[in-house]
Chain A
Amino acid sequence: MHIDPLEKQWAQIVLAICGLFVTLIIIDALFHNITTPGNVETIDSASLHLSEEFAEDNLGVHRDENGNVSVKMVAGRYSFFPKEISVPAETNITFRWVSIDVLHGVHVPMTNMSTMIVPGFVAELQTSFPKPGDYPMLCNEYCGLGHDHMWGRIDVVEKDQWHASKQTTNGAAGNER
């Protein structure tokens, strides 16, 4: 069997490059929590409205006593519920997404707020938005003929201003609808 020495060298270089990439990805996943949404949590899409967490009144942005911000959202043809939310910048936010019908996806452009929303499962991910601004929240998976019209808005506000505005909402636990 014949293997050229140049070929052997090239194979080593290629393996080293692949090894480097894989190592970086694993380090990011393990230590920087830059990873995939993969919580494998099941939920019955047909009775979301009866569930505690995703009942209509509980959707939207929440802040608990410790100041943790979470967002519960429902996707259904052809909208996100609620359609508009406001969150603080530079804050770690936990998003929990569910679908009432078919497959959807959601992406906030230029950010890594992105996940598939598969009926039967809760898609959970954590991220923070470094830059304040008005971002669209787009459905990025084909969900039917009205797919183009499926979008919402996410208003990322300076941290201090957001907290101030929450103070004036009269103790509504920051629940926005």
Chain B
Amino acid sequence: MNDSNERKLALSHMTVAFTAFIIACFMGEYQVLERSGLIESLGSPTVYFASVSTHGVLMAYVLTTFFIMGFGYYTASTSLNMPVWNKELAWGGFGVALFGVVLAAIPLLSGLASVLYTFYPPVQGHYLFYLGATLLIVGSWAWCVVMIVMFYQWKEANPGQPVPLAMFATTANALLWLWTSAGVAMEVLFQLIPLSLGWSDTIDPGLARTLFAWTLHPIVYFWLIPAYIAFYVFVPKQAGAFIFSDEAARAAFIVLVVFSLPIGFHHLYMDPEQGKGWKMLHGIGTFIVTVPTFMTGFTVIASLEIAGRLRGGKGLFGWIGSLPWTNTMVLAVILSLLMLIFGGFGGIVNASYAMNAMVHNTAWVPGHFHLIFAGTTVIMYFAIAYYLWPILCKKPLFSNNLALVQLWTWFIGMTILTTPWHILGLLGQPRRISSVVYNNLLTLSWKPYELAMIAGGLIMLGSACLFVYLLYKTQFGPATEEFNAQVEYAEPLHPVNSLPEYLNDFKLWNKVIAAYMAVSFGIPILQFFFIGTFDSSAWGY
């Protein structure tokens, strides 16, 4: 199959993703520096909050969405062995999303939309920001449509056959994203855009927060699923083993999709506009959604153990040493799992609301999600990029050793950055302040941790630059040899010959989600139209 169009699609999307990533990394390091107060002339809330807003949008929306789309197109085409359906739609989605990013970047960079990537009405930014964000989402819906159509095309052509795991998970993510993005889309279309254009004078902040909470949790799984896909379908192959259980993997993806949606109120634990009972319901769901992650950890470690033993590792832990640590995919998964263990622990603290009250909106929270997102998730994006770039460009990776250095430094930098960040949270430092002006003894104890964070951020910035450099050299360096490798997917230990339909399709699960969402979000949203809430007028910042 001539896959030049698919390769171009994947490369274009991922190039946008990693361009956004490297710009945002520089902003991140500026932010730790500014925040520490070490260099007095840097101190500027105006620049700081413009930077925080841009950093958040670039990392959380641009890096992720473009990476996921590019990776999805290539996964669909290689795992199903068919060309991307409707390439005009795919390229159209890319164009719309990219145009949205450019549109949003104008007010963000000029300080006209310092409302953070979470929007926070009744504070109001420039309408171009909301319009750009909407176009980014609309563009990504084109990707969802293409994935779902390809899924069903393949099923029709291969009746009764299990859909390849990589595509099953990719489609799960496309469906998840359609469900997920609906919340923020409603907030932007019905509340923020009318307000910012002056069509409405007031806004209901409680409703806006509820709609955003709809999106805010499952979006994390939208970002995470490509990492899980790599865990299941790339890692075992690269380590020299098999998928421990193909069926369990499918079940994990299904539970992730179903249960990550109706649990967003754990972001509203400390909010007054939703009742205690709803929060408890969402809290219980939050614990249920940890189950597929625990199962994934088990399966991946089991696959690694099989690999280690096949390679001659003996004893209880001897297999760890005999793993191919110099394989970027294998090294990345080990580091990713380590960060997941600590990040997951922090997540359980946040989910438990007695403890959450102590750390809510403190520095603990960005410490936690940087560990889970920029750590666990993005390190797998790196590994996927190192794996795919040579295949997409048909040139070998510029340097495997430098790639290993890059992964290690990212991990070390992340550890140095997020450990003090968590401690600062326990010491009560709020997140999202640009300087410490409080006149209190307590704040003196924050200083050394802020300085450590600068070092961690600097190591990560260096690592990020090395990553981009490696991709650049791979793509544009002179090719000394023809590189013609193909994507290789791991085989399950026990071949899957037939599957019950509920593990091979999403029709049933969409109905379950619809019912669950109607209860867990439908009623809490409707309440705003019955209890007589008071709107707020718009405020600058």
Residues of A within 8 A of B (CB): 1-4, 6-7, 10-11, 14-15, 18, 21-22, 24-26, 28-29, 34-46, 101-103, 105, 107-112, 114-124, 134, 136, 138-149, 151, 153
Are the C-beta atoms of A35 and B358 separated by less than 8 Å? no
Taking the closest CB of chain A, its distance from the CB of B529, in whole angstroms, is 13
CB-based A-B contact count at 8 angstroms: 220
Say which residue of B245, B268, B290, B428 sits within 8 Å of A18 (CB atoms): B290
Taking the closest CB of chain B, its distance from the CB of A73, in whole angstroms, is 13
Are the C-beta atoms of A38 and B275 separated by less than 8 Å? yes
Q: Counting CB contacts under 8 A, is B3 at the interface?
A: no
Kindly list chain A residues whose C-beta atoms are within 8 Å of the C-beta of B427. Answer: 109-110
Are the C-beta atoms of A124 and B272 separated by less than 8 Å? yes
Q: How far is the CA of A43 from the CA of B206 in the complex (A)?
A: 12
6 A-B pairs closest in CB distance: A109-B428, A140-B430, A112-B357, A123-B272, A140-B361, A38-B276
Q: How far is the CA of A96 from the CA of B91 in the complex (A)?
A: 53
Q: How far is the CA of A118 from the CA of B361 in the complex (A)?
A: 14
Q: Counting CB contacts under 8 A, is B353 at the interface?
A: yes
Beta-carbon nearest neighbor of B207 in chain A: A120
Taking the closest CB of chain B, its distance from the CB of A119, in whole angstroms, is 5
Select the stretch in B57-65, B278-286, B412-420, B453-461 that faces chain A.
B278-286
Q: How far is the CA of A18 from the CA of B295 in the complex (A)?
A: 13
Beta-carbon nearest neighbor of A108 in chain B: B428
Are the C-beta atoms of B353 and A40 separated by less than 8 Å? no
Kindly list chain A residues whose C-beta atoms are within 8 Å of the C-beta of B294. Answer: 10, 14
Kindly list chain A residues whose C-beta atoms are within 8 Å of the C-beta of B336. Answer: none
Q: How far is the CA of A39 from the CA of B299 in the complex (A)?
A: 43
Are the C-beta atoms of B428 and A138 separated by less than 8 Å? yes
Query: Could you list some 7 contacts between A and B, CB below 8 A?
Result: A14-B290, A15-B291, A40-B527, A112-B357, A118-B209, A118-B273, A145-B49
Interface of chain B residues 103 through 132 with chain A (CB within 8 A): 114, 116, 120, 122-123
Are the C-beta atoms of B499 and A29 separated by less than 8 Å? no
Q: How far is the CA of A114 from the CA of B287 in the complex (A)?
A: 23
Beta-carbon nearest neighbor of A77 in chain B: B539
Kindly list chain B residues whose C-beta atoms are within 8 Å of the C-beta of A18. Answer: 287-288, 290-291
Are the C-beta atoms of A120 and B206 separated by less than 8 Å? yes
Taking the closest CB of chain B, its distance from the CB of A42, in whole angstroms, is 5
Taking the closest CB of chain B, its distance from the CB of A51, in whole angstroms, is 11
Supposing A2-B245, A142-B49, A144-B123 touch, asked if A25 and B205 sit within 8 A by C-beta, the answer is no
Q: Counting CB contacts under 8 A, is B537 at the interface?
A: yes
Are the C-beta atoms of B206 and A25 separated by less than 8 Å? no
Are the C-beta atoms of B436 and A36 separated by less than 8 Å? no
Are the C-beta atoms of A120 and B536 separated by less than 8 Å? yes
Say which residue of A26, A41, A115, A147 sits within 8 Å of B432 (CB atoms): A147
Are the C-beta atoms of A36 and B353 separated by less than 8 Å? yes
Q: How far is the CA of A129 from the CA of B264 in the complex (A)?
A: 30
In addition to A108-B428, A147-B45, 13 A-B residue pairs with Cβ atoms within 8 Å of each other are A6-B302, A36-B353, A40-B273, A40-B275, A40-B527, A42-B533, A44-B534, A103-B120, A118-B209, A121-B273, A123-B272, A142-B49, A145-B45
Q: How far is the CA of A102 from the CA of B299 in the complex (A)?
A: 46
Are the C-beta atoms of A118 and B206 separated by less than 8 Å? yes
Beta-carbon nearest neighbor of A139 in chain B: B430
Are the C-beta atoms of A148 and B272 separated by less than 8 Å? no
Interface of chain B residues 486 through 522 with chain A (CB within 8 A): 494, 496, 499-500, 503
Say which residue of B206, B291, B362, B533 sits within 8 Å of A14 (CB atoms): B291
Taking the closest CB of chain B, its distance from the CB of A156, in whole angstroms, is 13
Taking the closest CB of chain B, its distance from the CB of A122, in whole angstroms, is 6
Supposing A138-B438, A145-B541 touch, asked if A3 and B247 sit within 8 A by C-beta, the answer is yes
Taking the closest CB of chain A, its distance from the CB of B33, in whole angstroms, is 16
Kindly list chain A residues whose C-beta atoms are within 8 Å of the C-beta of B120. Answer: 102-103, 141-142
Kindly list chain B residues whose C-beta atoms are within 8 Å of the C-beta of A21. Answer: 287, 348, 352
Interface centre among A29, A116, A141, A142 (most CB of B within 10 A): A142
Are the C-beta atoms of A38 and B204 separated by less than 8 Å? no
Taking the closest CB of chain A, its distance from the CB of B388, in whole angstroms, is 30
Q: Counting CB contacts under 8 A, is B200 at the interface?
A: no
Kindly list chain A residues whose C-beta atoms are within 8 Å of the C-beta of B536. Answer: 45-46, 101-102, 119-120
Q: Counting CB contacts under 8 A, is B342 at the interface?
A: no
Say which residue of A25, A40, A142, A146 sits within 8 Å of B354 (CB atoms): A25
Supposing A4-B244, A102-B123 touch, asked if A115 and B291 sit within 8 A by C-beta, the answer is no
Are the C-beta atoms of B295 and A10 separated by less than 8 Å? yes
Taking the closest CB of chain B, its distance from the CB of A103, in whole angstroms, is 6
Beta-carbon nearest neighbor of A122 in chain B: B272
Are the C-beta atoms of A119 and B276 separated by less than 8 Å? no
Are the C-beta atoms of A116 and B436 separated by less than 8 Å? no
Are the C-beta atoms of A29 and B360 separated by less than 8 Å? no
Say which residue of B209, B274, B284, B299 sits within 8 Å of A40 (CB atoms): B274
Are the C-beta atoms of A25 and B353 separated by less than 8 Å? yes
Are the C-beta atoms of A118 and B354 separated by less than 8 Å? no
Q: Counting CB contacts under 8 A, is B435 at the interface?
A: yes
Supposing A38-B275, A118-B209, A142-B432 touch, asked if A46 and B537 sit within 8 A by C-beta, the answer is yes
Interface of chain B residues 279 through 318 with chain A (CB within 8 A): 279-280, 283-284, 287-288, 290-291, 294-295, 298-299, 302
Q: Counting CB contacts under 8 A, is B1 at the interface?
A: no
Supposing A36-B279, A102-B122, A140-B361 touch, asked if A114 and B205 sit within 8 A by C-beta, the answer is no
Are the C-beta atoms of B276 and A36 separated by less than 8 Å? yes
Are the C-beta atoms of A115 and B272 separated by less than 8 Å? yes
Q: Counting CB contacts under 8 A, is B526 at the interface?
A: no
Are the C-beta atoms of A3 and B245 separated by less than 8 Å? yes
Beta-carbon nearest neighbor of A138 in chain B: B430
Are the C-beta atoms of B45 and A146 separated by less than 8 Å? yes
Q: Counting CB contacts under 8 A, is B437 at the interface?
A: yes
Q: Counting CB contacts under 8 A, is B394 at the interface?
A: no
Are the C-beta atoms of A105 and B361 separated by less than 8 Å? yes
Per-residue interface assignment for chain B, residues 334 to 358, with 1 indicating a CB less than 8 Å from any chain A CB and 0 otherwise: 0000000000000010001110011
Supposing A146-B45, A147-B45, A148-B435 touch, asked if A37 and B299 sit within 8 A by C-beta, the answer is no
Are the C-beta atoms of A114 and B206 separated by less than 8 Å? no
Q: How far is the CA of A103 from the CA of B284 in the complex (A)?
A: 27
